[in-house]
Structure 1
Amino acid sequence: MQWDQLLNSTRLGQRDAKVEDGRSPFNSDHDKVIFSGSFRRLARKTQVHPLATNDHVHNRLTHSLEVACVGRTLGMRVGHDLVKHKKVPDNFTAADIGDIVQTACLAHDIGNPPFGHTGEEAIRHWFQNDSGSILEGLGPQEAADLLSFEGNAQGFRVLTTSEYHVYDGGMRLTYASLGTFIKYPWTSADAANGKRPKKNKYGIYRSEADIFKEVATHTGLISKGDDWYCRHPLAHLMEMSDDFCYALLDLEDGIEMGILKWDEVFEVIRPILDETKIDGLSKELKDLRPGRRPPLVRGKIISSFVDAGANAFISNEKEILSGNIDDLLSKCSPAVKACVKSAKDLAKSRVFQHPRKVELEIGAYNTLATILDVLCNAAVNFARNEHEKDYKSKRALDLIGKNTFDPRVHEHDHDGPTREYLALMRVMDFVSGMSDNYATHLARQFNGSGDVR
């Protein structure tokens, strides 16, 4: 792969980017994401703890902003090296590369449904066990998209299809930013069959397959099979930024909620701190309450993470450009790798098993099942022109908006996805865009137990 093509500033649909003084196309990408409704709703979506009442605990929005900060720094560090060694065209700066990574990081969770990863599991569970005949008539790839619903693929759909210019380029971001966003550059069916680097993980729906190929072609990604390309090199920086923030900030939330003790968290992060300064740091932390301690070491930890990530990228650039690396974190220093793994293991065994979290996650299954049962049946009836016979379907469609469906839903002779699939994808847009609060409210309304006002 070549950097001049990878940093393509042309917008989706081969639209020329606007030339503005003091504002690059990649700055514009960043702003498009920030001002979108999908991004704003992340403030009411679960990061780890559903419907948290503690304002200090992360939600999807605060998590995305923090990942973007780390990603911008990683991108700048790598960018400085690329510019210094004249590996990118003269018109590109380190800030451009930082902006591209920052945009992808801002958007990396934009397609996640309510209730975090539990929401993804709940949607998959409903299609696999409770959807009845909903999937009849869909092609294998179409059915796989729903049976293994994936927030990453939904995010690509938000950016390219369902936000701003609906069904006409979406946010119309640059090819560089879209390529960097795609964490799993392949489709669902082969991933479900274990034929891709990550089983059951994918980044592209059938509905966006042509857009995906357009992005891959214009950024020069290397084809590795049918509907499968290697990652854009900068996607590695986005993924590491997410991993670094997960590793540290999930533990901070655990301390804030009283699930973890400071001493056990400090044991995990100590190996990557400067050992010569540990005694002075310990004295400084001694008289602070547990919740005030993480901010004083956070910068030091993130600095170590960024150093390791940037060094791993620069040292392995040739292999990355050849498309031969699937996981850059594994190329980081042993101390950083061990720290990230230990932090994730501690969060998984303690924070993720907190009783309140488990209770709310079980409830999320019923919440989303109630919503999907009503809306998916209505959408399929709509695609088959049978909704007028069913008053409940008519009212559900009024809620979604009949004019928000892909125009091809009622085109009988179009090439491409089936009409039922396109209708169901509109439901996925509607449901995955909900906040935790709205999903809970709507399920109560559908059950007849909501508030009467």
Structure 2
Amino acid sequence: MNWEQLLSLRRQGDVNKRLRNEQDETRLGFDVDYDRIIFSSAFRSLQDKTQVIPLSKTDFVHTRLTHSLEVSVVGRSLGRLAGKKIIEKHPYLKEIHGYQFNDFGGIVAAAALAHDIGNPPFGHSGEKAIGEYFKTGNGIKFKELLSEEEYQDIIDFEGNANGFRLLTQDRAGVSGGLRLSNATLGAFMKYPKESLPKKPTNHICDKKFGFFQSEKHIFKEIAEDLGLHSRSDDGTISFGRHPLTFLVEAADDICYTIIDFEDGINLGLISEDYALEYLIKLVKDTINTKKYNSLEYMEDRLSYLRALAINTLIQDAVAIFIEHEESILNGTFEVSLLDKSKFKAQIEDIISLSVQKIYQSQEVLEKEIAGYTIISDILDVYIDALIGKKNNTASNYHKLILRTLPGFYQATNVSLYQIVLNTCCYVASLSDSAAVHMHNKIKGKTL
């Protein structure tokens, strides 16, 4: 892989290559990517989607929206710092092609902004709930009606694949989805492979999958334009990561490690005593003890420690990225950047405490359980209604139900796979509150 190709400004539908030194410096193509994501309806729905505490009524707890914004800010810093080093190492990128270090920051910031855009309501349990409906619930009847790859797409329903679909999917009158640059779409793609075959390897690319069968032709075009390293020798689609994906992932890892920990302390699920104890090795070289001790309120002390810890991990991640640039470019770098961090032990300790005290807290578990029932019931009703419409057997109830679906999801002149996948993606598009509201409606509950 080479940087010039990896920084492609091409968008879906482009006939000619877009050159960096022909860009309007007041609003670069990568800035346009960021703007298109932030103004999209899919991004706005993240304001009411779970990050840590499902359906939390506490103001300071992060939603997917605030988390995504914070990951984007961290990603921009990672991209700029790494970009500066890359430009210094490969001066032709600037001298011949016109790339600047801020371009790297723009790509990573935009991809990081979108990294959770496809996630269903109720956190990661929402993904599992959709998959379980088809694996062990009423949706198991579709196993014999879909191809092996299509069935795998839905039983392992993946927010990353749904995000790629949202960013690239054609709609009536809207070709190419948001029409983002290929560089940003490449950096967004954490798992550049299809759902099958499942590869039990240690390579991070094989951990999950990144696109549904319905978008594989789009992904392949993007991967080939970017010159991503092919990892398949059997005709299936599997590529190595875009190098900047490692920075997007690091931004996410840094934020959820440190900020979820901070949320847990603010919620009273973790004692403040753990804050300095667990973060001290990350902040010991930069902390101003006098300033820290002068902070009267817990929120201010946590905010100060969080800022120092995030900065330490940013510097560390960039150093790892630059050190391993060659193996990242040739596709042999197999782990996340933070897996190589000198602070790996501290990171693992923080995550372990967060799992114990936050992710497995009674409030989280109870609301994730409710999410399973809500998602299963909504899928049941809408899939039955859509198939009834396709087969001309829809009941009056089904016809009423379908009137509550956005027009884009009502199409039945498509394959069974498309109907089922569209319904999954509709459910995934719902915010936590909207899913609860919809469930109440279909169950006839008084609102």
Q: State whether TM-score is above 0.5.
A: yes
Tell me what 1:121 maps to: 128
CA displacement at 1:46 relative to structure 2: 0.3
Show the 5 A alignment for 1:319-334: 319-330=327-338, 332-334=340-342
2:141 is paired with a residue whose SS is coil
1:374 counterpart = 2:381: yes
Note closer, same or farther for the CA distance 1:186–1:48 as it changes in structure 2 (3 Å cut).
Answer: same
1:305 counterpart = 2:313: yes
The one-letter code matched in structure 2 to 1:5 is Q
Note closer, same or farther for the CA distance 1:375–1:351 as it changes in structure 2 (3 Å cut).
Answer: same
Contact 1:255 1:262 in 2 (8 A): yes
Q: 1:447 aligns with which of 419, 422, 443?
A: 443
Note closer, same or farther for the CA distance 1:449–1:98 as it changes in structure 2 (3 Å cut).
Answer: same
CA displacement at 1:264 relative to structure 2: 1.1
1: CA distance between counterparts of 2:426 and 2:339?
Answer: 39
1: CA distance between counterparts of 2:173 and 2:210?
Answer: 21
Note closer, same or farther for the CA distance 1:300–1:15 as it changes in structure 2 (3 Å cut).
Answer: farther
Tell me what 2:159 maps to: 151
1: CA distance between counterparts of 2:173 and 2:291?
Answer: 51
Contact 1:134 1:380 in 2 (8 A): no
The one-letter code matched in structure 2 to 1:3 is W
Tell me what 2:405 maps to: 400
1:250 counterpart = 2:254: no
Q: 1:266 aligns with which of 257, 260, 276?
A: 276
Tell me what 1:410 maps to: 413
Q: 2:30 aligns with which of 26, 29, 35?
A: 26
Contact 2:38 2:44 in 1 (8 A): yes
The one-letter code matched in structure 2 to 1:75 is G
1: CA distance between counterparts of 2:304 and 2:163?
Answer: 34
1: CA distance between counterparts of 2:176 and 2:286?
Answer: 53
* CA displacement 1:224-282 (0-9 Å, x = unmatched): 01210000000000000000001100011101111011111221111111358564355
* CA displacement 1:9-63 (0-9 Å, x = unmatched): 0102335669545111100000000000000110000001011111100000000
Contact 2:52 2:63 in 1 (8 A): yes
The one-letter code matched in structure 2 to 1:7 is L
* Structure 2 alignment gaps of length 5 or more: none
2: CA distance between counterparts of 1:43 and 1:58?
Answer: 9
Tell me what 1:194 maps to: 200
CA RMSD of aligned residues (A): 2.1
Q: 1:93 aligns with which of 76, 91, 100?
A: 100
1:231 counterpart = 2:217: no
2: CA distance between counterparts of 1:264 and 1:196?
Answer: 32
CA displacement at 1:356 relative to structure 2: 1.2
Note closer, same or farther for the CA distance 1:356–1:163 as it changes in structure 2 (3 Å cut).
Answer: farther
Contact 2:142 2:151 in 1 (8 A): no
CA displacement at 1:165 relative to structure 2: 5.9
1:133 is paired with a residue whose SS is helix
2: CA distance between counterparts of 1:276 and 1:113?
Answer: 38
The one-letter code matched in structure 1 to 2:399 is K
Contact 1:244 1:305 in 2 (8 A): yes
1:317 counterpart = 2:325: yes
Tell me what 2:426 maps to: 430
Contact 2:243 2:329 in 1 (8 A): yes
CA displacement at 1:126 relative to structure 2: 1.0
Note closer, same or farther for the CA distance 1:270–1:377 as it changes in structure 2 (3 Å cut).
Answer: same
* Structure 1 alignment gaps of length 5 or more: 412-418
The one-letter code matched in structure 2 to 1:449 is K
Contact 1:100 1:177 in 2 (8 A): yes
1:224 is paired with a residue whose SS is coil
2: CA distance between counterparts of 1:213 and 1:45?
Answer: 30
Counting matched residue pairs gives 435
1: CA distance between counterparts of 2:261 and 2:110?
Answer: 25
Q: 2:114 aligns with which of 101, 104, 107?
A: 107
Contact 1:124 1:146 in 2 (8 A): yes
Give the TM-score normalised by structure 2.
Answer: 0.92
Q: 1:64 aligns with which of 54, 62, 68?
A: 68
2: CA distance between counterparts of 1:96 and 1:277?
Answer: 31
Contact 2:292 2:304 in 1 (8 A): no
Note closer, same or farther for the CA distance 1:79–1:163 as it changes in structure 2 (3 Å cut).
Answer: farther
Note closer, same or farther for the CA distance 1:180–1:50 as it changes in structure 2 (3 Å cut).
Answer: same
Tell me what 2:220 maps to: 213
1:74 counterpart = 2:78: yes
Identity %: 35
Give the TM-score normalised by structure 1.
Answer: 0.91
Contact 1:388 1:394 in 2 (8 A): no
Tell me what 2:41 maps to: 37
Note closer, same or farther for the CA distance 1:275–1:174 as it changes in structure 2 (3 Å cut).
Answer: closer
